[in-house]
Structure 1
Amino acid sequence: MQKRAEAAFISSFGSSSTTSVHAPGRVNLIGEHTDYNDGFVLPCAIDRGTVIAVRRRTDRRVRVVALDYGGARDEFDLTQPLTPEGAVHWSHYVRGMAEQLVSFDPSLPGLDMVITGDVPQGAGLSSSASLEVAVGAAFRAAGGTPNLDPTQLALLAQRAENEFVGCQCGIMDQLVSARGVAGSALLIDCRNLTTMPVALPEDAAVLIAHSMVRRGLVDSHYNERREACAAAARHLGVNALRDVTLDQLETSGLPALTRRRARHVVTENSRTLRAAEVLAQGDLAAMAALMAASHASMRNDFEITVPAVDRLVELITDTLAGEGGCRMTGGGFGGCVVAVLPRRRVAAVESAINLHYRSPEGLASKVFVCQPSAGAGALTSQDEFGANT
């Protein structure tokens, strides 16, 4: 990707970029819809992400080329108020991030940027957070916001998505993209934003399978689920569902539907903390049981899975026969499933998916095995994100 971005930069802007940056996508191993409830999540950054070739300008204009949208362009002035322009949706994330960076550093310089990426869009692997964090890394690498630390960068990216794009996401996606640790998942306390790396067993693999059912958080029921959680917290008189026990919830008098939504969050927090423990111990059988319980909770209490995703999880779970776990990952209503499994079982799982799974439209799943990767930063010519493309 890095070489492709640099070649396009030269053809678009007439000379070379000064640097390239990347920010990874992520897959969440367990802990779904807990982040905006001040809870716990266990994602890992993956070796797919966004790459930006960048050069600082002498004025305060920003020119952007999006290679993955046919070379579409956007241009704006950092001295003027920024607004979403038309239906060019990718540009909303760039503009929203620029707006937040200007609020952090009013002297933010202009840039020329060429953007490309390989995170499947609409798959629940956080292509949007990868883009936002990469834009922040680009401005930082070009000399803007030099004092912006990774957690601050993630917070600005979250605010851009909340306020400019209009999706009320939590902090998980942006924080793991900014702070990921190679070879490890990252246990995140979404209340105080502390992180703890959790090394995956050396013989474990992370397999992601796309259901080929596209999802879109802004257009889905994501915001409705978030409001149900907020309503439950208000009823219980707490700041967030993280502060609620299961006993309190079951005797709360909440309407049945709202109580089920809250029950998912309360039980998922417990599962996530336990998952960090068993994963660190290398206990994949215990991890499998926790992932199965998580998926059942998302299906029955939070109601964010779809039949195709349920079938895909069942197929992988049956193939693994207790040697690894699988669950839906991401905001829901389509997208991907994630499995944590011994490497020796990867081929069998891939074969089962290829033989027995098709989406409602008859599409085969896209399957890939990813490596837990480092968070956002500058690239050199030898870095993995750009070395082979």
Structure 2
Amino acid sequence: MGKTIAVLKKEFEEGVYRKRLKDIYVDESVLDYQTERYIKALTEFAALYGEKEVEIYSAPGRSEVGGNHTDHQYGKVLATSINLDAIAVVAKTEDDIIALKSEGYHKMSVHLSSLEPRDGEEGSSEALTRGVASRLKEAGYKIGGFEAYVTSDVLNGAGMSSSAAYEVLIGNILSGLYNDEKIDPVFIAQAGQYAENVFFGKPCGLMDQMASSVGGMVNIDFADPKKPIVKKVHVDFEAYGHSLCIVDTKGSHADLTDDYAAIPEEMKQVANFFEEDVLRKVDKNEFYLNLPKIRTILGDRAVLRAMHLFEENKRVDEQVLALEQGDFENFKKLIKASGDSSFKYLQNVYSSHELNNQSVSIGLAISDVVLGEKGVSRVHGGGFAGTIQAFVPNDIVGMYKETIENVFGEGACHILKVRPYGGMRVL
């Protein structure tokens, strides 16, 4: 096991782990905050469970960079882990109970003797915990009890996927405590998706979990979703002098379920025209040859959304190539093109039912004015409301933050860094 709470707190206070924190969180300016956060988490654990030897685990939030709304069509995605994360202070126990308290939530207990989905547990952290443990055991990995205190600064409802970070965190704890950290990050991501689909009751894709689990800039091809091709894109973002900004435009996600559901549904209708279940299986040239007929049968929006899918898959390959060749300016142009396609063809920047509420459009328009040719912005995540993403040169990031927060309020702009690690044992 690890060190005692008292020893770890003292070592954090003395700056013993400052280099380790810089390695994980990249940004020098957040190290004091992270040090205090870790000390507080250790203190909270001790108040709950007493003075023990513990380990600390972390799983990051994610940001989608390319491949907007392609994963549900077995498409291609470029995503990155970010330097906001969920951390857990953990002590191994001899029983088969996971006792866990997340900051701001009730303390819970999951008995590992029962690993079937439970009535009334849908939509809960218990469901996600039980689901991850169930999938690991089913695959032949060891599982067992532990006590944990969890705290997360991955923003809820901001397209950073706080639930995926939680699932990956549980997977890494069980990997570290019971499997010598040998469980493959791709499988941990798949276990998280399984937990969310089967136990939690949400039909999500695999991108969020994969970006959190594998870490860094990740290119994923979902042609075979059971065996996705995962490629780590080696890029030192700091060398290019840019920050990744996520801006909360304060639009409400309420009543947008139909808008979100219509995107995969319309893409599926186009696939069905060719007697396929997803667009990835449709020949792009055949689609364009049959475009007039599809318009007549399914209407123009379905056609435009299918066009976005085909061109976005190609664009993800181009983004990866630009990064691998060190051509950051071309990479930014491709980000802009991806965002423009989401706006014009995918049409997920505002709801057609709420034409006067276009907070994401406002955020993108202001970003265009402020950034000019220096940076780029695009819709982030599912769209329709919520957040935008911007790559902003470090020398104007302060000005960008001030200008955008003048519109959307203090704290709306989160200046982030690309984190090089996925789910991990910190100490």
Give the structure-1-normalised TM-score.
0.86
Match for residue 221 of structure 2 among 171, 189, 192: 189
- 8 Å Cα contact 1:304/1:333 also seen in 2: yes
Mapped partners of 2:161, 2:255: distance in 1: 10
Instruction: Please give the root-mean-square deviation of Cα atoms over the aligned residues, in Å.
Output: 2.6
Distance 1:88 1:207, change over 3 A: same
Distance 1:224 1:91, change over 3 A: farther
**Given the alignment of the two structures, is residue 123 of structure 1 paired with residue 123 of structure 2, yes or no?**
no
CA displacement at 1:337 relative to structure 2:
1.2
The 5 Å alignment of 1:1-389 reads 1-16=37-52, 18-69=54-105, 72-80=106-114, 81-83=116-118, 85=120, 89-105=124-140, 108-144=143-179, 147-181=182-216, 185-191=217-223, 192-199=228-235, 200=237, 201-215=239-253, 219=257, 221-238=259-276, 240-244=278-282, 246-250=284-288, 251-252=290-291, 253-254=293-294, 255-256=298-299, 257-306=301-350, 307-355=358-406, 357-358=407-408, 363-364=409-410, 366-373=412-419, 374-380=421-427
Aligned to 2:354: none
CA displacement at 1:239 relative to structure 2:
6.0
Distance 1:119 1:3, change over 3 A: same
Aligned to 1:385: none
Aligned residue for 1:33, secondary structure, equals coil
Mapped partners of 2:342, 2:335: distance in 1: 11
Mapped partners of 2:256, 2:58: distance in 1: 25
Which blocks of at least 5 consecutive residues in structure 1 are unaligned? 381-389
CA displacement at 1:258 relative to structure 2:
2.5
Flag the structure with more relative contact order, 1 or 2, with Cα contacts below 8 A and sequence separation at least 6: 1
Mapped partners of 1:217, 1:166: distance in 2: 19
Cα deviation 1:96-123 (Å, max 9, x = unaligned): 3233233234752122121110011000
Aligned residue for 1:314, secondary structure, equals helix
Distance 1:133 1:221, change over 3 A: farther
Which blocks of at least 5 consecutive residues in structure 2 are unaligned? 1-36, 351-357
CA displacement at 1:186 relative to structure 2:
2.0
Aligned residue for 2:251, secondary structure, equals coil
Aligned residue for 1:301, secondary structure, equals helix
Mapped partners of 1:10, 1:318: distance in 2: 50
- 8 Å Cα contact 2:41/2:149 also seen in 1: yes
Mapped partners of 2:130, 2:254: distance in 1: 19
Mapped partners of 1:279, 1:318: distance in 2: 26
Aligned to 1:383: none
Aligned residue for 2:104, secondary structure, equals helix
Give the structure-2-normalised TM-score.
0.79
CA displacement at 1:311 relative to structure 2:
0.9
Is the deviation greater in 266-275 or in 195-204?
A: 195-204
Cα deviation 1:146-197 (Å, max 9, x = unaligned): 542111111111111122222222221111111113xxx2222223322131
Distance 1:106 1:47, change over 3 A: closer
Q: Rg bigger for which structure?
A: 2
Counterpart amino acid of residue 82 in structure 2: I
- 8 Å Cα contact 1:52/1:114 also seen in 2: yes
Aligned residue for 1:304, secondary structure, equals coil
Mapped partners of 2:255, 2:108: distance in 1: 23
Distance 1:190 1:314, change over 3 A: same
- 8 Å Cα contact 2:308/2:341 also seen in 1: yes
- 8 Å Cα contact 2:377/2:391 also seen in 1: yes
Cα deviation 1:38-74 (Å, max 9, x = unaligned): 22211111110111112222121121111133xx111
Corresponding residue pairs, total: 370
